[in-house]
């Protein structure tokens, strides 16, 4: 029985937002909530979407037609101007502004300040994940706006470990865009340093090469060559989401790990996905990942902006079998915190 019909709106299907939208549509469907997606432009994540009504358009007439299709609520993520646009096009129902990520602390603060007039004028509230820097900023700048804060969801039964032949060399994985906040420079610097200790290590980077600044990609290519990493580094571009479970499982089985070098994360889906596939994670203390990682319990942290401190932590992950096994088991068990039913229950409170 359908109890509500809602629309999630974002720029394009890619990265963590694309994953979140698929996960929560599944969670909410079980509770009678009919979910639709609207992306303003196409993206590589479209290959991952099935069984969810999905629209791709940035044309006013098309958007007007879509939003008049009986939605009880529309959730607009990140796009400040779209709140006014949706109201102008005739939507009178509940309109919620959603915050996910927003990059560095400074970037998030700037965007939230810019968004304030539109959020206060056109929306009925603001939704954001349980991430310390976002919580602090939103409570500071939106004292009177209705606020809804809870963890994003993740289905560990669907995205899980896949058994295969273990690689004969350790692999250090990395997931992201070639851009400043994801901090590819520290990943390359770590690779350069780590090879001196484990010269047979391979470094796999999973990227979306349809996004990002071409100049940044040129700087990346130049740095790879300068550091002599060409033979140790392998780029995997635009991998379908389901296949990522195979790769994370292989990385874990190789004795390696996922390295997350982000400066700031709102949530960090790559981290939670690796954990679900029994792949341990070594991460910068990028705020959002505190929801998953407790140092030496469910993962490992290194000191922010001091990538050299990641090397001894990484060596311990490779060499201390007892600690490694404990981290893998406890990380997997911790994922129950993000289950779909808990998310749906929290989400229904917004609709009420």
Using a 10 angstrom Cβ sphere, with 0-12 exposed, 13-18 middle and 19 or more buried, the burial of residue 296 is middle
In a 13 Å sphere around the CA of 225, the CA atoms on its Cβ side amount to 6
Give me the pLDDT at residue 206, please: 96
Query: Reduced to 3 states, what is the DSSP secondary structure of residue 244?
Result: helix
Q: Are 232 and 203 in contact (CB under 8 A)?
A: yes
Spans of all domains in the chain: 4-149, 171-336
Q: How does pLDDT run along the chain (352 residues), one tens digit per residue? A: 678 999 999 988 888 889 899 999 999 999 999 999 999 999 888 888 889 999 999 999 999 999 999 999 999 998 889 999 999 999 999 999 999 877 778 888 999 999 999 999 999 999 999 888 889 999 999 999 999 999 999 999 999 999 999 999 999 999 998 988 889 999 999 999 999 999 999 999 999 887 778 899 999 999 999 999 999 999 999 898 889 999 999 999 999 999 999 988 767 889 999 999 999 999 998 777 888 899 999 999 999 889 999 999 999 999 999 999 999 999 999 999 999 999 999 999 999 8
Give me the pLDDT at residue 211, please: 73
Beginning with the edge strand found earlier in the chain, give each strand of the sheet holding 54-56 in spatial order.
54-56, 33-39, 4-10, 73-77, 94-98, 125-128, 147-149
Domain 4-149, CATH class in plain words: alpha beta
Task: Identify the helix (H) or strand (E) that includes residue 9.
Answer: strand 4-10
Task: Name residue, tokens 């509500």.
Answer: 4
Domain 171-336, what architecture? 3-Layer(aba) Sandwich (3.40)
Please state the φ and ψ torsions of residue 39, each to the nearest 5 degrees: -115, 140
> In the structure, how many helices (H) and strands (E) does the chain have?
12, 13
How many angstroms separate the CA atoms of 295 and 288, rounded?
14
pTM of the model: 0.89
């Amino acid at each position: 029985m359908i109890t509500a019909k809602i629309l999630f709106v974002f720029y394009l299907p890619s990265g963590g937002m694309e994953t979140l939208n698929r996960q929560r549509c599944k969670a909410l469907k079980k509770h009678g909530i009919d979910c639709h997606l609207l992306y303003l432009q196409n993206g590589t994540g479209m290959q991952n979407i099935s069984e969810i009504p999905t629209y791709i358009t940035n044309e006013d007439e098309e958007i007007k037609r879509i939003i008049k299709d009986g939605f009880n609520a529309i959730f607009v993520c990140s796009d400040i101007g779209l709140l006014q646009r949706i109201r102008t096009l005739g939507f009178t129902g509940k309109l919620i502004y959603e915050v996910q990520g927003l990059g560095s602390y400074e970037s998030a603060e700037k965007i939230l300040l810019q968004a304030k007039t539109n959020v206060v004028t056109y929306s009925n509230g603001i939704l954001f994940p349980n991430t310390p820097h976002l919580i602090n900023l939103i409570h500071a700048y939106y004292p009177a706006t209705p606020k809804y804060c809870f963890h994003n969801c993740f289905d560990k039964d669907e995205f899980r470990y896949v058994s295969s032949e273990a690689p004969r060399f350790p692999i250090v994985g990395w997931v992201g865009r070639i851009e400043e906040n994801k901090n590819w420079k520290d990943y390359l610097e770590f690779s350069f340093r780590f090879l001196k200790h484990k010269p047979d290590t391979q470094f796999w980077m999973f990227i979306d090469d349809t996004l990002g600044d071409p100049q940044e990609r040129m700087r990346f290519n130049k740095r790879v060559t300068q550091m002599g990493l060409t033979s140790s580094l392998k780029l995997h571009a635009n991998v379908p989401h389901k296949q990522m479970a195979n790769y994370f499982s292989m990385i874990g089985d190789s004795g390696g790990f996922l390295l997350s070098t982000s400066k700031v994360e709102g949530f960090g889906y790559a981290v939670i996905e690796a954990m679900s596939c029994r792949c341990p994670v070594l991460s910068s203390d990028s705020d959002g990942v505190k929801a998953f990682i407790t140092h030496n319990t469910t993962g490992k942290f290194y000191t922010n902006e001091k990538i050299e401190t990641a090397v001894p932590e990484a060596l311990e992950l490779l060499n201390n079998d007892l600690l490694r096994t404990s981290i893998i088991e406890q990380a997997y068990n911790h994922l129950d915190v993000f289950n779909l039913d808990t998310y749906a229950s929290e989400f229904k409170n917004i609709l009420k």
